[in-house]
Structure 1
Amino acid sequence: MERNSGGQTRGPLFYIGAGGLVLAMAVEALAVLGRHAGIPLLGAMEIIQASILLMASTAMLSATLNKGHATVTLLTTRVGERARGYLHAFANLMSALFFVGLATGVLWLAVEAWNDHEQSELLHIPFRPLRIVSLIAAVAIALVFLRDMGRSLRGRA
């Protein structure tokens, strides 16, 4: 894995997200060119939506792994080290609970529609794998926040 100028690791998540972005841009460029040439690219929006799911999932997981989420330090800079650890642990717990809730919702939808063979209208892109990607990303993010919560409680944040 390479490191960029900010010291962050460029691993598979970076390349999956970048691939989704390149795919979305290429499809949109072809769709615009096709509209101007009178040859519309049917299903472009469906491909772009699937690409956005990949980009968003990998971006959120990558930001969580690299501690790249926005934080407000108004309170934590004014308390002692021990209280700061507890506040960080609490913030990580709340974030983990949010993503557990998100994963629960995705799982619920996936179970309810598992045998429905849902797919997009034009290109028939199946929704099942997209829901699985969303579920894996939400669970992975929740686990990273729980790991960080444990580290905050042990004083290794």
Structure 2
Amino acid sequence: MTGKTENTGHRILDFILLYFGGSALLGAAFVEAISVVCRHLGLGFHGAIEIVQVLVLISGASALVIATRAGKHAVVKLILQHLDADRRAFLVAIWMVISALLFIILAVGNVWLIMDMWNAYEESEVLNIPYLPFRIFSVICLLLVTGSFLEEAICCGRKS
């Protein structure tokens, strides 16, 4: 996240997520453009919405991990800027722990869904795209975000 020295493994993960998520976003735009063209030609592009939903999940989850690891979330520092460095570091560490709790709760909820739907073979209606791999991908991304927040909380705790 902010001000950390990156090791090679972290850079490789960021590189993979950047290009994987970026490709998914371009793919979603492409599929949607083809869908619009088909609609204007009077043709149907059945399942375009399902494809776009999957690609947006991949793109959004990747972007969430990248933004969190880079420390690029929108932050209002109205109160923090008026505090001394020790109090600011303490409050930032608390904020990071609360953020980590939020994302771990989201991950646990997703795991709960995976467990409930394990034998249901849940899939999309038109193209029969299985949901399980994408739920697992979202859990992995949520855990990466949680880890990034906890890592930053530990770094902030050491500074104070």
Tell whether the structures are fold-level matches, with TM greater than 0.5: yes
Which amino acid is the alignment partner of residue 57 of structure 2? Answer: L
Partner in structure 1 of residue 3 of structure 2: none
Q: Name the CA distance, whole Å, in 2 between partners of 1:70 and 1:30.
A: 33
Which amino acid is the alignment partner of residue 53 of structure 2? Answer: Q
When normalised by structure 2's length, the TM-score is 0.89
Counterpart secondary structure, 1:46: helix
Q: Name the CA distance, whole Å, in 1 between partners of 2:134 and 2:81.
A: 41
Aligned partner of 1:23 among 23, 27, 30: 27
Equivalent pairs: percent with the same residue?
Answer: 36
When normalised by structure 1's length, the TM-score is 0.91
Q: Name the CA distance, whole Å, in 1 between partners of 2:69 and 2:19.
A: 15
Q: Name the CA distance, whole Å, in 2 between partners of 1:116 and 1:51.
A: 23
Note the residue ranges of structure 2 that are not aligned, 5 or more in a row: 1-10
- The alpha-carbon deviation at position 77 of structure 1 amounts to 1.2
Q: How many residues align?
A: 148
- Cα RMSD over matched residues? 1.2
Q: Name the CA distance, whole Å, in 2 between partners of 1:24 and 1:59.
A: 14
Which amino acid is the alignment partner of residue 91 of structure 1? Answer: W
Aligned partner of 1:105 among 104, 109, 130: 109
Q: Name the CA distance, whole Å, in 1 between partners of 2:73 and 2:19.
A: 20
Note the residue ranges of structure 1 that are not aligned, 5 or more in a row: 1-8
Counterpart secondary structure, 1:95: helix
Partner in structure 2 of residue 118 of structure 1: 122
Is 1:148 the counterpart of 2:124? The answer is no
Partner in structure 2 of residue 65 of structure 1: 69
Q: Name the CA distance, whole Å, in 1 between partners of 2:34 and 2:124.
A: 20
Q: Name the CA distance, whole Å, in 1 between partners of 2:32 and 2:155.
A: 43
Is 1:43 the counterpart of 2:47? The answer is yes
Any runs of at least 4 consecutive aligned residues in structure 1 with deviations exceeding 2 A, and if so which?
none
Q: Name the CA distance, whole Å, in 2 between partners of 1:15 and 1:140.
A: 17
Aligned partner of 2:59 among 55, 59, 77: 55
Higher relative contact order (CA 8 A, sep 6+): 2
Q: Name the CA distance, whole Å, in 2 between partners of 1:55 and 1:76.
A: 32
Partner in structure 1 of residue 6 of structure 2: none
Q: Name the CA distance, whole Å, in 1 between partners of 2:100 and 2:26.
A: 30
